[in-house]
Amino acid sequence: QSALTQPRSVSGSPGQSVTISCTGTGSDVGAYTYVSWYQQYPGKAPKLIIYSVNKWPSGVPARFSGSKSGNTASLTISGLQAEDEADYYCCSYAGAYSLVFGGGTKLTVL
Amino acid sequence: ELQLVESGGGLVQPGGSLRLSCAASGFTFSSSWMSWVRQAPGKGLEWVANIKQGGSETYYVDSVKGRFTISRDDAKNSVFLQMNSLRAEDTAVYYCATLGYGLDFGRWGQGILVTVSS
């Protein structure tokens, strides 16, 4: 149950696109299509923004998109906005009803 | 409106026990898997435990197995986390969350702080 690997920080200017990677193994990210992404503002609870690799919950803008290739999942935020500045976490099913999170990525909007 | 409200947190000495509660409303609780997720101060998220509808199946992260117990009371729309033999490294904000069919944490409570310190 080792944590998934995410970059500690990424940054981008308003209007640009940024991609956050999430690397696991063949026992978690590579084995299942159960990858989800969460947005968290300081002092607040996380919010689901992508589930099942590339699906959007109701109310999440299409600027957020997810994908997966092999053992690495990715979250892309297009048309970056100031309000997107937050921490982002990936999460993957790891079998036997266990789940594992990434270490989190701090997104800075320049 | 779906709502999850945690309670029961606080300061406890190492080796002590604490029971967290999470009251749910606004959805069919009895049909939902539920989970606990924690976040140590300044750190990332960590999945802690899951419980199936009806409570017949429970699952835990290795670091809490044998010390924590997740349970539920569908009549009271509540899920619980009994935490025994607490350690300093259990200090965290604990969130209850719904676990969706995509094995995602769809909705979260506001979180409750547990501090393990002498």
Quick: pLDDT tens for A26-75: 999 999 999 999 999 999 999 999 999 999 999 999 999 999 999 999 99
Q: B10-12 and B112-116: which strand pairing?
A: parallel
Q: Which residues contact A107 (CB under 8 A, 6 or more apart)?
A: A9, A10, A11, A12, A18, A20, A77, A84, A85, A86, A87, A88
Asked if the Cβ–Cβ distance from A51 to B106 is below 8 Å, we say yes
Nearest to B47 among A40, A52, A101 (CB): A101
Mean pLDDT, to the nearest integer, of A10-37? 97
Instruction: Give B103's DSSP letter.
Output: S
CB contact B1 to A (< 8 Å): no
Q: Which residue has the tokens 């979180």?
A: B111
Q: Which residues contact A45 (CB under 8 A, 6 or more apart)?
A: B95, B108, B109, B110, B111
d(CA B97, CA B33): 9
Task: Say whether pLDDT at A1 is over 80.
Answer: no
Instruction: Give A57's DSSP letter.
Output: P
| pLDDT at residue B87 in the model | 98
Q: Please, which pLDDT band fits residue A2 given cuts at 50, 70 and 90?
A: confident
> Do you know the residue count of chain A?
110
| pLDDT at residue A56 in the model | 95
| Residues 13-42, chain B, touching A (beta carbon < 8 A) | 35, 37
B8-13 own/partner pairs: CB under 8 Å, 24+ apart: B8/B112, B9/B94, B9/B112, B9/B113, B9/B114, B10/B113, B10/B114, B10/B115, B11/B115, B11/B117, B12/B86, B12/B114, B12/B115, B12/B116, B13/B86, B13/B116, B13/B117, B13/B118
Q: Which residues contact B50 (CB under 8 A, 6 or more apart)?
A: A97, A99, B33, B34, B35, B58, B59, B70, B99
Per-residue pLDDT tens for B9-40? 999 999 999 999 999 999 999 999 999 999 99
CB contact B113 to A (< 8 Å): no
Per-residue pLDDT tens for B47-105? 999 999 999 999 999 999 999 999 999 999 999 999 999 999 999 999 999 999 999 99
